[in-house]
Amino acid sequence: MKGREPIAALTAYDYPMTRMLDECGVPLLLVGDSLGMVVLGYPDTTHVTMAEMEHHVRAAARARPNGLLAADLPYRSYDTPDEAVANSRRLIAAGAEAVKAEGGREIIEQVRAIHRAGIPFVGHLGMLPQHVLEEGGYHKKGRSDAEHESLLADAVALAEAGAFAIVLELVVPDVAAELTAMLNIPTIGIGSGPGCDGQILVTHDLFGTFPWFTPKFVKKQLNAAEQMRASVADWKASLGKT
C-alpha cells in the first residue's frame, strides 16, 4: 500500500472489536500491549505478560479478520533471539499473523531470528512505551541531532533485518517524514505527524472509551464514554416504570 493509499491501522483486543474494525475495512489490526492500560487497568505496558497477550490474540483471531492481525511481544519477552522466536511462535499459534517489538539496533539479532523463523515482523521506533520507567515518561523523539541520527540508523537496520513495516511513535514530524521517504517499507505513525505512510491509534482513544486519559495528539471521533454514561442513567431512571 506504500505510495498508493494511506494505511489505516487500529488496535483490537477482542472478538467484537476485531470483527467490527475488519468489517470497516481496516487493513492492519494490532493486538497491542496497550491493552495493559485500556483493558487490564495496569499503569503502563511493562506489566503485560505473554499469557495475557495470548488470551487476547486468541479472542481477536476468532473474528478471522481479512485485515492483517499483528500482535505485540510484551515486555521482557524478547530479551534474547531464542526467547524472541519462541514467544513469537506462541503469538502465531494463538492466531497472530505478524509480531511487533520495540527497539532498533539493540534488538536486531532478535529481529533477524524472528525473520529467519519465517514470522512477519513489524518494528517500533521513537518513544518506546515498554521503556517508560527508565525514561521517566513518554517523550517525543528525534529533536536532537543524536536522536535523529539514531532513528535513521535504527530504521535502516530494522528494514535490512526483515521488518515489513515500522511504527513510529511520537517522532518529530519532519524526522518521521524523512524516514518515510527513505524507507522502502511503510511507516505507520502515532503522534508523529501526517508524513507517514499510515496512522495507527489505540481504538479506545478514537472512540473515547477510556475517558480518564487521552493522548494530546488524538482527535476523538466519538465520545462513547459519555454516551454510555447517559444510557446507563436513562436505563436506571426507567426502572420500575411501566
Contact by Cβ (8 Å): 71, 31: yes
> Does 85 contact ligand KIV by CB under 6 A?
no
Interacting residues of 61 by C-beta distance below 8 A, sequence separation 6+ = 18, 69, 94, 95, 96
- Selection from 107, 167, 106, 110 nearest residue 141 by Cα: 167
Considering only 202, 207, 208, 209, the residue that binds ligand KIV (CB under 6 A) is: 202
**Nearest distance from residue 230's CB to ligand KIV, in Å?**
28
- Listed in order, strand segments (DSSP E) in 22-65 are 28-31
Q: How far apart are CA 153 and CA 49, in angstroms?
A: 30
DSSP 105-147: GGGHHHHHHHHHTT--EEEEEES-GGGHHHHTS---B--SHHH
**Nearest distance from residue 189's CB to ligand KIV, in Å?**
9
> Does 32 contact ligand KIV by CB under 6 A?
yes
> Does 205 contact ligand KIV by CB under 6 A?
no
Q: Which listed residue (52, 54, 102, 169) is catalytic?
A: 169
Q: Which stretch binds ligand KIV (CB under 6 A): 30-38, 148-156, 174-182, 226-234?
A: 30-38
Residue 169 known to be catalytic:
yes
- Selection from 115, 47, 52, 57 nearest residue 81 by Cα: 115
Considering only 114, 190, 192, 204, the residue that binds ligand KIV (CB under 6 A) is: 190
**Nearest distance from residue 202's CB to ligand KIV, in Å?**
5
Interface mask (CB under 6 A) for ligand KIV, residues 58-77, using x and -? --------------x-----
**Nearest distance from residue 240's CB to ligand KIV, in Å?**
42
Tell me how many degrees the CA angle 158-163-165 measures, rounded to the nearest 5: 105
The set of catalytic residues is: 169
For binding to ligand KIV (CB under 6 A), which residues are involved? Answer: 11, 30, 32-34, 72, 167, 169, 190, 200, 202
